[in-house]
Structure formats: C-alpha cells, structure tokens
Structure 1
Amino acid sequence: MPQEHTGQLTPGDHKIAIAVGRFNEFITEHLLTACLDTWQQLGGKDENVTVARVPGSFELPVTSLKLAESGDYAAVVCLGCVIRGDTDHYDHVVEQTAKGIKDVGVNTGVPTIFGVLTCDTLEQAIHRAGAKMGNAGRSAMMTAVEMANLMQKL
C-alpha cells in the first residue's frame, strides 16, 4: 500500500495572506468577505490573516511573490475579478495574471491560490461571487488551508 498524504481543513497556527484586487471591487469585496468568513468558520485566528489590497488582478503576482518570499505565510490567496470587454485586454490580463500566480507558487514552494474570477459577463461574476454558484473566495481559502497543511506534512 503506498504512503498517502492529504491536507486537512484545520488552520492551526498557520498564517495566510490574501492579496485582493480593487478593480471590480463590488465583486472582489464579496470574494474577500467569503474568504475571511471561511477562515473564521474553520477556526482560524484573525491575527493570522493579512490582507494586501492592490489596484487590480494584474498586480496580484508581484504582491503574492513579495508575501510568499517573506517566509511569514503558509499560503497566499489571490482574489480578483476580470470581466471580458470589447477589446483583447481581457485575454492579456487573464493570461499574465494566471501565469504569474502559478509561477509564484512553483518558484517559492508557497501555495499561491488562484481565486481570480475570469468571466465573460458581469452576471457570471455575480454568480461566482456568491449569488448562485457558491463563492470562489470560500473555495480559495479552503484550498489555501488544505495546501498549507499538506505542505507541512510533505
């Protein structure tokens, strides 16, 4: 039987950082609220969470890199919202943001969670921020806690 490792949904003494974009703030604030509520529901201590606010999703990778490199956090959650417009700007922002956030986790070994909504319409964003389809902020925090525990075990 192979040895198997899984992360638990218990915050313990882990510290988590959340980087959240202000662009589309009416959506990202719902993501942040759900993220923080989930942390508390799991039993996390308020003093073990740091929130860094950035202008938009494009700034999430550099901010999460700084947080991850500090050595203070077991995981970094990135929250943002990019809604498709009439130009190809959306594609560039989404691609570079996703790649940047992925690179932070791979290069630092600190789980860096992609909680950025990438939606075609405002209605889709509203649904993914809690109106119909759960809340991506909640999922991101659950992933962060699970990964922080898994990394500790490995």
Structure 2
Amino acid sequence: MGKVRNILETKKTAPVVIHPDNTVFEALELMFEKNIGALLVMEQEKFVGIFTERDYARKVILKGKASKEIMVSEIMTQNPITVSSDTSIEDCMSMMTDKFIRHLPVIDNELLIGIISIGDVVKYIIEDQKYIIGNLEHFITGI
C-alpha cells in the first residue's frame, strides 16, 4: 500500500487556504468557487486549523448565526488530526473512518504541504487494486 506522498504527487492544484479573520461567508464563496469541502486556515505561514462544510452546518446554520458576521477563527476546527507524507494510505483510511473525518491536512517538519480527502484515499485504493489485478491477470495468462 502507498503513502500520502503518492496521493499528493497526483494532485494538480495547491491546497486552498484562508485567513482566520475572513468571514465565514467569504470562506463559503471560496469553497464554492473551487468546488471543495474544506479550507486550510493559515495565519502568516502557520497552519492554525481547518474549516469544513461540517463546521458551517453545525456551528453556524444550526445555531442561527450569520455567515457574513462570524469569522472563520470562531468556528474552524483547531488542532485537527493531521498526517505526514510518510503516513500509509491504510492508516489514513482507518483514521478517517474511525474519527468520522473527511479531510486530513498533511504536515511535514511543522510545515503544511497539502491536504487529502476521503475521495483521494478511495481513488488511490481503487487504482492500486486495479494495478494489482492487472499484474495478477498478466501473471496468470502469461500475456
């Protein structure tokens, strides 16, 4: 099984970030524009949290707050679970399913280097299985 670095190598875009002092509304606009479900929250060069659709649904909408008046810093998830580029894909899948999370920021040497989603992990596993099956078929048939 592969490592997180294998997923990051296939991603064509840089992680999308937002400042903690931006409004939740601005964060939602950015998420809509980029068609993503999470933003990494950065203050200068420091990773300080993650803002997800779930944060919005549970901490803004359900509490009757206004997205144009509340700051990302007020509802973001601080100190989220993170992984390194050396973490195995299998460990990521376990963390995501056990903790009911959909996004894992990737931190190496205290620096944010990316983010992976449950979709990235599933896609990698499917492609890996296709590759293994293809090799086995080739081995069996000798073609």
Verify same fold: TM over 0.5. no
Using CA pairs under 8 Å that are at least 6 residues apart, name the structure with larger relative contact order, 1 or 2. 1
Q: Give the structure-2-normalised TM-score.
A: 0.30
Q: Give the structure-1-normalised TM-score.
A: 0.29
